[in-house]
Amino acid sequence: MNQAVISCLHANLPAVEAVLKDIELQGITNITCLGDLVGYGPQPNEVIELIRDKEIPTCQGCWDEDVVDGLDACDCSYPSQLAEKRGHFAHQWTTDKLTTENKDYLANLPYSIRKDKCLFVHGSPNSQHEYLLPDMDAFAALERVENARAEILFCGHTHQPYIRELADGSIAVKIKNAVPKDTQEKEIQLPMRRIVNAGSVGEPRHGGTKATYVVYNDVTNEVKIREVEYDIELTCKAIIDAGLPPIFAWRLKNGFEFAEQAEDASHVCER
């Protein structure tokens, strides 16, 4: 059966509506959301209420956590002080706009959702703030899936959709100073695992302007990345009207990167 996985909606209502329409047109009713319903975008309450109304199972993203608990991401989450300032402004704006009911909803979202062999998280099984980038160290990536006792790990947070298969792995282990000799060495076969990043519905950072999500078939194990066009102008106008930083609209419209993300994929925020 096909199921859709969406992530990083970022209060971009036109993008969310377009993606949900695309999912509906494919006849998919099983949807999982990987969080970051809010942040950057101008319609946080509307997006939360849409996801709530449709009863879409959702993990808590880093923005969802931060607007509830206060900023706890360290400076490493931002590539520059300017980006940090913009992020903090959007955080405060979002916190001020959200209704108490919607804050409670975000506060009670789970960190992860497990369905059979699949684990759904926002960033990584370690933290909502950890980036699993597509080309991060393969052994570290495999460790994230394996230690989470999953076969497929669905994540978001990077805003870059990808499917990564880690296969045919092995490690030889040797104990120095060991006797008897026959217990000194062994080779351990590593399991085949996959990481699927759903990209971002509301804040794409893949070089284009289209919203992305993924469709997973749990029978064939096939995963497809979907790109969806939406009315970007509508979102951009709402960003400007709301008084949010104009760069948020500019980068949506131009499909440019300027991502507020850490370069060190292995970093785990300790705050």
Q: In this chain, which of 1, 25, 179, 219 binds other proteins, going by CB under 8 A?
A: 179
Q: In this chain, which of 163, 234, 240, 242 binds other proteins, going by CB under 8 A?
A: 163
Closest by alpha carbon to 231, among 59, 13, 2?
13
Q: Which 181-220 residues touch other proteins, going by CB under 8 A?
A: 183-184, 186-188, 190, 206-208, 212
Q: In this chain, which of 162, 216, 230, 248 binds other proteins, going by CB under 8 A?
A: 162
Cβ burial, residue 58 (10 Å; 0-12/13-18/19+): buried
Cα separation, 187 vs 181, whole angstroms: 15
Which residue is it, tokens 């960003």?
A: 239
Sheet with 2-6, strands from edge to edge, namely 31-33, 2-6, 211-217, 223-228
Of the two residues 188 and 219, which places its CB atom closer to other proteins in the complex? 188
Cα separation, 269 vs 76, whole angstroms: 8
Q: Does 266 bind other proteins (CB under 8 A)?
A: yes
- Single out the segment in contact with other proteins by CB under 8 A; choices: 1-9, 36-44, 66-74, 129-137: 129-137
Cβ distance 68 to 91 under 8 Å? no
Of the two residues 86 and 193, which places its CB atom closer to other proteins in the complex? 193
Q: In this chain, which of 10, 129, 164, 251 binds other proteins, going by CB under 8 A?
A: 164
Token code pair at residue 115: 């369905």
Residues near other proteins, by CB under 8 A: 134-135, 137-143, 146-147, 160-180, 183-184, 186-188, 190, 206-208, 212, 225, 227, 266, 268
